[in-house]
Chains A and B, each alone.
Chain A
Amino acid sequence: MKTHCTRTWVLLRKDAADMVKNPNMLIMLLLPVLFSWIYTFIGAETGEHLTPAAVLTLATLMTLALVPLSLLSTAIAEEKEKNTLRTLMLTGVTAGEFLTSKALATELSIAVVSTATFFVAGAPVTALAPYLAASLLGALPLLLLGAVIGIASRDQMSTGIAAAPLALLMMLPAMFGAAGGVIGFIARLMPTTAVLDLVYAAMELQALDLVSSMLVLAVWSVLSAAVFALIYKKKRLDN
């Protein structure tokens, strides 16, 4: 157990440092922060600025769509593409240690990005802890899906084929759900909409229905875990 923890810790430090050293990953992490800063200028001419909650909503959607799906899948695929995964496996690193460190590094980066966007949006400090909890919890099913894409992809380039449409699917219904109708119905089923409800609750605004939001997140987590197990069993890590 101690060996597992030590190796996961060593890998986590490497993965976390790599997110800063890798220009592609760094850009993905900076985009939500940059956009939340830009959103704060919306309505500046009329004096009707977006509220911190509105800015955070848009930034959270972007963070959840980009980081767990694109960043995690790219990180896994890069290790396969550049044969470093094979090197790790031959030192006795297990698939569990490898994936745990990648998932933890991604959660860590979500925490950092979310904290930055939180302050850029000008949200009250008292809401930081519940906001982070909502973001990190909501990222779990997306992390599993990001890992599935990484495992199924041969290289970094091919991760985009699955990650980009999935990211749009996670973002758009949640953004336009308020329009109602079919979009509104689909939005209620998406994990990102559920996270936004949690974010609203964290900001002490009226959330639609927290119980159903938690239920949606739970169902997505179970389904994502099942897909992950299926794909992992079929492809293994180093396919």
Chain B
Amino acid sequence: MEEQITMRGVGISFGGAQALRDLTFSVGRGEIFGFLGPSGAGKTTTIKLLTRQLTADEGEIGVFGEPVEKLAGGAFRRIGVLSDNSGVYERLTVQQNLELLAQLRGVDKARVQELIEAVGLADARGKTAKKLSRGMRQRVMLAGAVLHRPQLLFLDEPTASLDPGTTAGIHALLRQLNAQGTTIFLTTHDMEEADKLCGRVAFLHHGHIEECGAPEELKLKYAKNEIVALLADGRRVSAEKTAEGLDRIRRAAGSCAILSVHSQEPDLEELFLQVTGRKLA
């Protein structure tokens, strides 16, 4: 698979504090890659390094197969970025903000209308950005980041502070973009979001990747070799995932009916805790 992003042995410090160390991963064309970690883990710093907003102290960073240092205006036209330091013009309306970005990127105005609908801002298109809620601003910035159907999209917590309905709409938009060939690098706290959207995820802890892989693979890798039975009297009985384990459950149930038996697979939240020893939130 053609690599869109590569990081090899990347490290950066701020005032003596190591923010990222030996960061190594790659993202192939057409992937949705989730970068998961608690606040302060280094997710935003990674996006800044990949978009040349920061320079690494060590290691190699590549975007579109070229060293990131060579990332110039032309390459930025193939990239979309939504980060915590994106901004909107407060005295311009939603529509004017997006039209400005469309003009700068040479995108047709019809695309602005399409995106205003897609991010659920049709009723607010004439409102100045100053009057928008945080979530609505986030949607304007997201629309701005995907206006030009970028080849590579960096999203830093794209659905933070959005309601479930809008989040679902944003997810649909991201899937649509991905189906059209956009590679997406996404940071999130939301494990459900990562599970739904991402083909692969990386767990970032104290500036280092602790685990990386497809969510299903990771769940199997860290799955407990255990089954749990729910009995009619409300009891839960767990045992080893073997024939002997199943016999043990039957014996424990006795005359009580067994309502269900299922294996114990951790979700991403539990996995993160298991791998890093700390919770995400």
A interface residues, Cβ below 8 angstroms from B? 3, 6-7, 10-11, 14, 18, 21-22, 82-88, 90-94, 238
Contact = CB atoms under 8 A, between A and B. Distances in A.
Given A14-B92, A86-B85, A93-B73, 5 more contacts: A86-B53, A90-B81, A91-B77, A91-B104, A92-B104
A3 B106 CA distance: 9
B91 A83 contact: no
A11 B73 CA distance: 16
A176 to B, nearest CB: 39
Interface in B110-158: 141, 144
Contacts of B144: 87
Contacts of B86: 83, 86-87, 90
Interface string B59-93: 00000000000000110110101010111111110
A7 B73 CA distance: 12
Contacts of A22: 91
B185 to A, nearest CB: 14
A91 B85 contact: no
List the 9 closest A-B pairs by CB distance, nearest first: A83-B87, A92-B76, A92-B73, A84-B87, A10-B103, A21-B91, A90-B81, A82-B87, A83-B85
B88 A87 contact: yes
A6 B51 CA distance: 24
A94 B73 contact: yes
A111 B86 CA distance: 33
B174 interface: no
B258 interface: no
Contacts of A86: 53, 83, 85-87
Contacts of A18: 89, 91
Residue of B87, B88, B92, B101 with most partner-chain A CB within 10 A: B87
7 contacts: A3-B106, A7-B104, A10-B103, A14-B100, A86-B85, A90-B79, A238-B53
B279 interface: no
Contacts of B101: 87, 91
A10 B103 CA distance: 7
Contacts of A82: 87, 89-90
Contacts, number: 57
Interface residues of B, number: 25
A90 B103 CA distance: 14
Nearest to A9: B103
Contact of A92 (B77, B88, B90, B92): B77
B104 A10 contact: yes
B105 interface: yes
Nearest to A86: B85
Nearest to B91: A21
Nearest to A10: B103
Nearest to A18: B91
Contacts of B83: 86
B189 to A, nearest CB: 21
Contacts of B88: 84, 87
A238 B86 CA distance: 13
Given A10-B104, A14-B100, A90 B51 contact: yes
A94 B77 CA distance: 12
Residue of B74, B92, B104, B105 with most partner-chain A CB within 10 A: B104
Contacts of B105: 91-92
A18 B53 CA distance: 27
B82 to A, nearest CB: 9
Given A10-B100, A10-B104, A87 B87 contact: yes
Contacts of B106: 3, 6
A178 B49 CA distance: 57
A10 B109 CA distance: 14
Nearest to B104: A91
Contacts of B79: 90
A93 B106 CA distance: 12
Contacts of A87: 86-88, 101, 141, 144
Given A10-B100, A10-B103, A91-B101, A84 B89 contact: yes
Interface in B37-55: 51, 53
A93 B77 CA distance: 10
Residue of A18, A85, A86, A238 with most partner-chain B CB within 10 A: A86
A127 to B, nearest CB: 36
A14 B102 CA distance: 13
Contacts of A11: 104
A62 to B, nearest CB: 25
A86 B101 CA distance: 12
Contacts of B53: 86, 238
A76 to B, nearest CB: 14
Contacts of B74: 92
